[in-house]
Amino acid sequence: MSTAVMPARMDTRRYTKVAIFSHWLVALLIVSAFALGVTMVDIPGITPTKLKYFSWHKWLGVTVLTLACLRLLWRLTHAAPAYPDNMPVWQQGAAHSLHGLLYVLMFAVPLSGYFYSLAAGVPVVYLGIVPLPVLIAPDPELKALLKEVHYWLNVVLLGSVLLHLAAALKHQFIDRDGIFKRMLP
């Protein structure tokens, strides 16, 4: 009889193709919006390039918000695969909490940017074609507050995404429990 330790039971159930596609699409758009946001705020003054980047950044934000709505509807009607039996309860709770926070941020970050833009007196015109409703009047004090809110929500989003990535890599390379593969295309 061998005394070798058997590997943990692998949970091979996967997310749906729609969930996988929307996960990676939204991830790509969030990373793009973040990179563009960091780039555009470092451009001094008001230049045509900076204005173009601001427009693209807003379009990415609106797209993320729209896709987040669709993702949430899908998620509410399609359960996620179960965690492996050997995954500690505290890790399951942490994963559930982090996923919840990521969903909140997928809504809060673009909404804070949208209201920041409106408070600055700059309407959002999606793809340069579809004007979004102007829900608040320009307000310099609110603009300053919303700028800070948008910034800090992005910092929390960045930290949450990095934690999510670190956990996924831990499951792939240390735990080897199949969690990471459930979301691969």
Q: Does a structural domain hold residue 6? A: no
Residue 11 above 80 pLDDT? Answer: no
For 85, the token pair is 């039996």
Q: Identify whether 9 is part of a domain.
A: no
Which whole number is the average pLDDT over 61-70? 98
Q: In this structure, is residue 11 part of a structural domain?
A: no
CA nearest to 172, candidates 182, 162, 163 = 182
Q: What is the pLDDT of residue 9?
A: 44
pLDDT of residue 4: 45
| CA pair distance 25, 71, nearest whole angstrom | 11
SS3 content of the chain, % helix, strand, coil (to 5): 70, 0, 30
Q: What is the pLDDT of residues 33-49, one digit of tens each?
A: 999 999 999 999 999 99
Q: Which pTM does this prediction carry?
A: 0.91
| Number of structural domains the chain divides into | 1
Residue at 135 is within a domain: yes
Confidence of residue 3 (pLDDT cuts 50, 70, 90): very low
Sign of CA dihedral 141, 142, 145, 150: negative
Residue range 51-68: average pLDDT? 98
